[in-house]
A and B are shown apart, each in its own frame.
Chain A
Amino acid sequence: MKLIDFLTRTFTWWNGQTWGTYWYTRRRGERVGEDELGNVYYRATDHMIDPSMGPERRWVVYNGLADMSRVPPSWRGWLAHTHNVPPSEEQYTPREWEMAHLPNMTGTPEAYRPQGSPSASGRRPAATGDYVPWSPDEGAAGRAG
């Protein structure tokens, strides 16, 4: 383990996992699978057998930034108990029109810009108050075209 990983795991919660999660995962976690981003999913072994103890605990250890939008929809459905079959055990072929999951890019250069936004086209759309200045190289007004 590199020193920087040690320090981030000690002092931040948003990089991978904290020490608490690490120890808990080592003691009770059962690895369920890994998604294409390298996030690893676990479930607790405590009360797996007895549902009366409450629902099974499921969690993810991020590979990198702990950003919930980096969990793909398939795994998110499993994490949130929407379904119980983890995607790693399911044979699912995506349709051709299904796009790959993209985390929320807000705040990054790849952030979504709505059509018409100056940042999308790089050009300012026409607005009230615009005028066309004359330049000496044009013909006289009304006679040019």
Chain B
Amino acid sequence: MTKIIVDDVEVDVPADYTLLQACEAAGAEIPRFCFHERLSIAGNCRMCLVELKGAPKPVASCAWGVRDCRPGPNGEPPTVVTKSPMVKKAREGVMEFLLINHPLDCPICDQGGECDLQDQAMAYGVDSSRFHENKRAVPDKYIGPLVKTSMNRCIHCTRCIRFVAEVAGVPDLGATGRGEDMEITTYLERAMGSELQANVADLCPVGALTHKPQAFNGRPWELIKTPSIDVMDAVGSNIRVDARGREVMRVLPRVHEDINEEWISDKTRQHVDGLKLQRLDRPFLRENGRLRPATWAEAFAAIAAKLKGADPKRVGAIAGDLAAVEEMWALRSLMTALGSPNIDCRQDGSVLSPAHGRASYLFNPTIAGIEEADAVLIVGANPRREAAIVNARLRKRWRIGPLPVGVVGERVDLTYDYAYLGAGPESLAQLAKGGEFLDLLKSAERPLILVGAGIAARPDGAAVLAAVASLAAAVGAVTEGWNGLAVLQNAASRVGGLDIGFVPGEGGLAAPAMVEAGALDVLFNLGADEIAISPGAFVIYQGTHGDDGAHRADVILPGAAYTEKSGTYVNTEGRVQQTNRAVFPPGEAREDWAILRALSDVVGHRLPFDSLPALRRELHAAHPHLAALDEIAAGDGRATLDAWAALGGSASSAGFVSPVADFYLTNPIARASRIMAECSALHVTPALEAAE
């Protein structure tokens, strides 16, 4: 720790702090454009100038280390002044230079109201310009469907370049020219090829990069901001839903150091137009082979009539990927009341099960824990597509220091170097026999074995899990204080569903068996759109979008999307989080738990809760860990390894394939979105490029 005096306040900060951080620690606010906590230091905007006693000129505090400061003549700590007239004058000078070429188009600029330059010009701007030449003009660039450019406004902070190169890990954005001729551009007007690209528009301190889909659509001050949780993947990124009236206008990231830091994936951000397309806004009933709009009473009556004489063994329920814990709990209670053991939340047919312990389906090392891992083996996953934020963490760890990464599965560009160990279970067995990478894993103190949820959904899933378990045991992935077994889920609802035991009961059928022809008479489909249901059964579909599930349904009950209800979601780490209602569901759609509660009354098994708090009370009594928001209840890693090892079976030789074939179209909301469709068309098969 080093002592330093900032504006007469003495603070004790680590020596590797920069002056800017030290000043913040002392409570002084430093204006900045180019500095960003999560990016490397560029020091090119000069807005952060401070006066350092003894230095001949003002110094850029973001690029000056505390340890580089000279002590005073009598050995007193170095002194920094942030409020002197000299500092003010220096910053005003910088601001004047920046504004020379910055257009005065705030009234038509989408950044207006949340613009760093606007804000700081309030403090350091001068009211007139001494510049009488013409402003420079820069052509706008095409850099993809998500980010709109207005390059006259660029102040060359290079945050966008640093983000794309460092965090996203693609070489797509750069600067050409020097001095006045500097321009930010992609190579030959190509779209950026990253699933984190839209973050650059958040980073851009001015309006040079803005969100294209939201262009000219709203002003920040007219939006109602609701903190919420993302459900596009199983990461549970913290987001802020900005709504105007009844419409979700945009989604922005919220900082959560342990999950998404401050990035979100493009799907998380730009699926929002899907929330207002293809919506189910009224119940439908199939009559004479055609669906027709119906009232709630008619829909419920039709369901009650079907359930009346039905054999409970021939009634089943499947929960989809976007279902919140509350409605799964309500549905589970209803099925229990009906006497049916056929429930499943794993529409992909996965063998991951709460029977193997909670640790068997969690990302046990946690996302933040990735930074502590010292060797990584990725088995049958493409984290870049299945959980872009987790992949960014892996890349972050890889950049911090040497990190051996091995991949068994598809050979794709993960944005970091890895040793390719093979495609399928055979390579896994090969790896377990010995070799260079096995030694690396063995010698690692905290090896991390990232297991894609997709491998458990293979027909030979049990055998593969057994192989992973024996490998993990062999390399010591599960020790006291470190559980390196990381199951990467790809559905937001999955961990929650497994937590509450939304899996087949005694003698119950799993999802793939339920959808077979002739297996069931009545199937309740809670938003499962990625599973094909054979003809025969009477299907009740409860969901938000007219996707495959709705087409196959005999009764459609319109539910609420995640922005329209308060729901609990458990992310792949096992972290319990809650969404909040930002807008109301459209038309006659209702919150899902309430639909199930109302239905239970009609079918004669009234559920014992009348309100969401009552439901949660019951849920929390049965599963206390769901009451602890933002906490992870760890599972027992060793028990999991034993349970998996006992699974046995023989593995096929087919290579592992990521279950996420198209990053942009994984769920009904994203499939309804036009912007996601556009992105998907651009990046269907991300080119196999050598990692950096």
Contacts and interface: CB of A to CB of B under 8 A. Distances in A.
Interface in B236-290: 244-247, 249, 274-282, 284, 290
A134 B247 contact: no
Nearest to A144: B278
Contacts of B280: 133-134
B245 A133 contact: no
Contacts of A130: 247, 276
Contacts of A133: 279-282, 586-587
Contacts of B548: 140
B277 A132 contact: yes
B672 A142 contact: yes
Contacts of B673: 142
A141 B547 contact: yes
Interface in B653-679: 665, 668, 670-673, 676-677
A33 B279 CA distance: 67
Contact of A136 (B275, B290, B672): B290
Contacts of A132: 276-279
B279 A134 contact: yes
Nearest to B669: A141
A138 interface: yes
Given A140-B546, A141-B278, A129 B246 contact: yes
Interface in A68-93: none
B557 interface: no
Contacts, number: 69
Interface string A107-145: 000000000000000000000111111111010111100
B190 interface: no
B551 interface: yes
Contacts of B244: 128-129
Contact of A141 (B247, B249, B277, B291): B277
A135 to B, nearest CB: 8
Most buried by A among B244, B278, B282, B547: B278
B384 to A, nearest CB: 21
B414 interface: no
A131 to B, nearest CB: 4
B246 A134 contact: no
Contacts of B546: 134-136, 138, 140-141
Interface string B541-563: 00001111011000000000000
A137 to B, nearest CB: 9
A128 B246 contact: yes
Contacts of A136: 284, 290-292, 546, 550-551
Interface residues of A, number: 14
A128 B668 CA distance: 22
Given A134-B280, A136-B291, A142 B246 contact: no
Contacts of B668: 141
B548 to A, nearest CB: 5
B278 A134 contact: yes
B282 A129 contact: no
Nearest to B280: A134
Interface residues of B, number: 34
A133 B585 CA distance: 12
Most buried by A among B275, B545, B546, B665: B546
B671 A143 contact: yes
A131 B277 contact: yes
Contacts of B676: 142
Interface string B209-243: 00000000000000000000000000000000000
B540 to A, nearest CB: 15
Nearest to A136: B291
Contacts of A141: 274, 277-278, 545-547, 668, 671-672
Nearest to B668: A141
Contacts of A129: 244-247
A141 to B, nearest CB: 4
Nearest to A145: B677
A133 B278 CA distance: 5
Contact of A138 (B245, B274, B278, B281): B278
Contacts of A142: 547, 665, 670-673, 676-677
Most buried by B among A133, A135, A142: A142
Interface in B626-670: 665, 668, 670
Given A140-B551, A142-B677, A134 B545 contact: yes
B245 A128 contact: yes
Nearest to B218: A128
Nearest to A139: B551
Nearest to A130: B276
Contacts of B290: 136
A126 to B, nearest CB: 11
B545 A131 contact: no
Interface in B568-588: 586-587
Nearest to B671: A142
Interface string B519-557: 000000000000000000000000001111011000000
B680 to A, nearest CB: 9
Given A140-B546, A141-B672, A131 B551 contact: no
Contacts of A143: 671
Most buried by B among A135, A141, A143: A141
Contacts of A135: 546
Nearest to B670: A142
A128 B671 contact: no
Contacts of B249: 128
A136 B289 CA distance: 11
B603 to A, nearest CB: 24
Nearest to B284: A136
A44 B28 CA distance: 83
A129 B673 CA distance: 16
Interface string B275-317: 1111111101000001110000000000000000000000000
B582 to A, nearest CB: 12
B527 to A, nearest CB: 13
B528 to A, nearest CB: 14
B279 A131 contact: yes
A136 B554 CA distance: 11
Nearest to B583: A129
Nearest to A129: B246
Interface string A38-61: 000000000000000000000000
A35 to B, nearest CB: 47
A134 B644 CA distance: 44
A51 B677 CA distance: 82
A124 B689 CA distance: 49
A138 B280 CA distance: 12
A127 to B, nearest CB: 8
A138 B277 CA distance: 12
A131 B281 contact: yes
A140 B277 CA distance: 11
A142 B547 CA distance: 8
A133 B279 CA distance: 5
Given A133-B280, A134-B278, 6 more contacts: A129-B244, A129-B247, A136-B292, A136-B550, A141-B546, A141-B547
Nearest first, the 8 closest Cβ-Cβ pairs linking A and B are A134-B546, A142-B671, A129-B246, A136-B291, A131-B276, A141-B672, A141-B278, A133-B281
15 contacts: A128-B246, A128-B249, A132-B276, A132-B277, A132-B279, A133-B586, A134-B278, A134-B550, A136-B550, A136-B551, A140-B551, A140-B671, A141-B274, A141-B672, A142-B665
